[in-house]
Chains A and B, each alone.
Chain A
Amino acid sequence: MQAPAPSAELAPQVMPAAGGRLGRWRKSHSLSGVALVLALLGLWEISARLGWADSSNWPPVTAVLAALAEGIASGELPRLLASTLMRAAAGYLIGCGCGVAAGLLLGTSRWAYYILKPLIEVFRPIPAPAIVPPLILFLGVDNVLKIFVVALACFFPVVLNTLAGVVGVDEVLLQTGRTFRAKRWRVLRDIILPASLPMIAAGMRTATGIALVVTVIAEMVAGSAGLGYYIVQMQYALRPEAMYAAVICLAATGYLVNRAVVMLEAWWIPWLGK
């Protein structure tokens, strides 16, 4: 198979069941993934040292790592990262909350579905960076704007996944509920919500990645705070090594957040994917 090494969570479906060889196969593949990253970093270093890139904004990776260490030691990068994560988390929670609520409403009320679904379909394809400049006129340039944009971007995957989850709830479960004469609210809480949780979780995981990306973009466009602005500022200050250090910081954070979400899911919804 020529495909790239499958990530751990995809592995069970993609890989052939090869009995005892499976563990070894997986181990060697994850090692070759690390090797590829190291090889690329090595290529980065060499290309910068030998001037292959034909650019004055391509610092060697060692200089970037030094800038990263300096940024962390001075407390500047952790502080900026914290402010970015704070915005991302606020937007994410608001977006997911609204998304789940709207998804449940859409899935259980035909009226809501016919009225709101077209609206959602119209707004969904608008890329988040495109709405930042016009929104500045209404929301200013501070946290309200950034958190709103993040919440909006997180809302769509969650609402659509929740809707799909609600629509896909097993009819037998609903009929059982009816047999027991469960009230509408109870059906929603005890049958529909748990049954659609895997779909909701999938939507929320999509939203996690979106939240961080959109926060950084909003900070880049509307400026003055967080890692997004720092990246632009360092670019203008002719300090590309500090810029790449912030990018590495974001990449590591994105990876860790994703791992955390996977672990949370496994703990919260153990039946997911079974």
Chain B
Amino acid sequence: MKSLRYFRLAFGMLAALAAGSLGAVPSRAELTTLRVSIIPINDVTPLFSAIKQGYFAEEGIAIDTSPSAGGATGIPGLVAGSFDIVYGNVVSMLLAAQQGIDIRVVAPGTKIATVENDTSAIVVRADSGIKSGKDLEGKTVGVNTRNNVIWLYARAWIKATGGDPDKVTYKEIPHPQMEDALRQKQIDAGYMVIPYVALATAKPDFKEIGHPYSEVQLGVDVGQYLTTSKFLAEKPELATKFVRALRRGIEWYNANRGKPELLEIVSGFTRIKVDLLKQIEMAPSPLAVDPPQIEKTMQLMIEHKLLRSPVEIKPLIAQQAL
């Protein structure tokens, strides 16, 4: 039996090779490849859904995803020409725009549209007695990266709940280590995201005390797909096709949240086990970018001295994204 399986495998590979060299699968060869940088988190599931459902192939596009844990290489890679499209957060996008980097928002990514959708949270030890930003003064808060989106909304939340964000120490802790850092008392609170927040708060040792995104700015447009104005000018059709296929992926994702088929997709690119994914809730994805929300984030960045001066939002948003 085993040898038969090997035989089939070898034969299949040979056949594929032959087909490839003879051009028997022309559809694949005619596809235009787009290199997309992603962060292996739930936010990009609609993209993978669209790939899996064949929506990109129907538009004549092949997507070559390149994961970057934490997303540090996304925008620099876009500048260097390694990627055509990059999934990034709104703060990174605005920082890049302020620095004069050629960047455009081409498609919607993640939006906290309702309170229920806000799965991220400030988590503390259950016995710490910390309830608000006021209680966090003089204490340490864990954020994945300083001077970025999580840090910004942690500060804004501390301010909104009566604390002085300048009296709090912010410590950089990668998302997967946040729970351990909290347990080992390296930090007093951590701004945690899915799936880590769900796993931590399922234990009696920890509890959520606030949801910065929805409490500070309900409707916040957290992440978007970015590209350059050069790409939009040179290949407008391709950009339109990309967004059209992605939108179908978003619709499919929204209709199939929590279903086994979707969990398989998420597990495929995050490598998180399906059993674990069953415990987490997946928020719906937006179909369009919301410029007034980006405007609000920009104002918040100025308030917390992340931006020196206002950035004009309108020219940054591609027609396709609206």
Least CB distance, B68 to chain A, in whole angstroms: 4
Q: Chain B contacts of A235 at CB under 8 A?
A: 69, 174, 176
Kindly supply a per-residue 1/0 record for chain B positions 194-210, scoring 1 wherever the CB is within 8 Å of any chain A CB and 0 otherwise: 01100100000000000
B72 close to chain A: CB less than 8 A? yes
Q: Are A141 and B179 within 8 A (Cβ)?
A: no
Bound CA–CA A208/B84 (angstroms): 35
Tell me if A138 and B80 are in contact (CB < 8 A). yes
Residues of B within 8 A of A239 (CB): 271-273
Q: Is the CB of B180 within 8 A of A140?
A: no
Contact of B73 with A141 in the complex, beta carbons under 8 Å? yes
Question: In the complex, which of the residues A56, A140, A224 contacts B81, with contact meaning CB atoms closer than 8 Å?
Answer: A140
CA distance A147 to B199 in the complex (A): 38
Among B153-189, those with CB < 8 Å from A are 174-177, 179-180, 183-184
Question: Which listed residue, A141, A232, A234, touches B80 by the CB 8 Å rule?
Answer: A141
Task: Given A141-B66, A237-B271, verify A136-B73 contact (CB < 8 Å).
Answer: yes
Q: Are B80 and A139 in contact (CB-based, < 8 A)?
A: yes
Distance in Å: Cβ of A221 to nearest Cβ of chain B: 7
Kindly state whether residue A229 has any CB partner on chain B within 8 Å: yes
In the complex, whether B76 has a CB less than 8 A from a CB of chain A is yes
Query: A54 contacts the other chain (Cβ, under 8 Å)?
Result: yes
Count residues on chain A whose CB falls below 8 Å from chain B CBs. Answer: 25
Is there an interface contact between A137 and B80, defined as CB atoms closer than 8 Å?
yes
Distance between Cα atoms of A139 and B199 in the complex (Å): 39
Q: B270 contacts A236, CB within 8 Å?
A: yes
Q: Knowing A136-B80, A140-B77, A233-B67, say if A57 contacts B180 (CB, 8 Å).
A: yes
The CA of A141 and the CA of B74, in the complex, are separated in Å by 9
Count residues of B near A (Cβ-Cβ below 8 Å).
Answer: 33
The answer to whether B184 touches A140, judged by C-beta atoms less than 8 angstroms apart, is no
Within the assembled complex, what's the spacing in Å between the Cα atoms of A129 and B269?
26
| List of B residues within 8 angstroms of A238 by Cβ | 176, 195-196, 199, 272-273, 276
> A137 contacts which chain B residues (CB < 8 A)?
76, 79-80
Q: Which residues in window 78-95 of B have CB below 8 A to A?
A: 79-83
Residue of A nearest to B66 (CB): A224
Give the chain A neighbours of B80 by CB distance below 8 A: 136-141
Most B Cβ at <10 Å: residue of A55, A221, A223, A232: A223
Q: How far is the CB of A246 from chain B (nearest CB, A)?
A: 12
Q: How many angstroms from the CA of A55 to the CA of B180 in the assembled complex? A: 5
* Residues 30-69 of B at the A interface (beta carbon under 8 Å): 37, 40-41, 66-69
Instruction: Report if A234-B76 is in contact (Cβ < 8 Å); known contacts: A55-B184, A224-B66.
Output: no
Known A57-B180, A238-B276; judge A232-B69 contact (CB<8 A). yes
Return the contact of A223 from the options B73, B174, B177, B195 (Cβ within 8 A). B73
- How far apart sit A213 and B271, CA to CA, in the bound complex (Å)? 24
Q: For A142, list chain B residues within 8 Å (CB).
A: 82
Q: Kindly name the residue among A142, A224, A234 whose own CB sees the greatest number of chain B CB atoms within 10 A.
A: A224
Provide the residues of chain B in CB contact with A136, threshold 8 Å: 73, 76-77, 80, 82
Query: For the complex, what is the distance from the CA of A137 to the CA of B40, rounded to whole Å?
Result: 22
Known: A236-B270, A237-B270. A223 touches B69 (CB 8 A): yes
A236 touches B81 (CB 8 A): no
**A141 x B82 contact (CB < 8 A):** yes
The listed residue with most B CB atoms (<10 A of its CB), out of A57, A139, A222, is: A222
Among the listed A133, A138, A139, A236, which residue makes an inter-chain contact with B69, where contact means beta carbons less than 8 Å apart? A236
Distance from B270 Cβ to chain A, minimum over Cβ atoms (Å) = 6
Asked if B40 and A221 sit within 8 Å, CB to CB, the answer is no
Residue numbers of B with Cβ under 8 A of A are 37, 40-41, 66-70, 72-73, 76-77, 79-83, 174-177, 179-180, 183-184, 195-196, 199, 270-273, 276
15 chain-A/chain-B pairs, Cβ below 8 angstroms:
A54-B183, A57-B176, A57-B180, A140-B82, A141-B76, A141-B77, A141-B82, A223-B69, A236-B69, A236-B174, A236-B270, A237-B270, A237-B273, A238-B195, A239-B271
Contacts A139-B80, A222-B73, A234-B271 known; 12 new A-B pairs at CB < 8 A = A55-B184, A57-B177, A136-B76, A136-B80, A137-B80, A141-B76, A223-B66, A223-B68, A229-B67, A236-B69, A236-B174, A239-B272
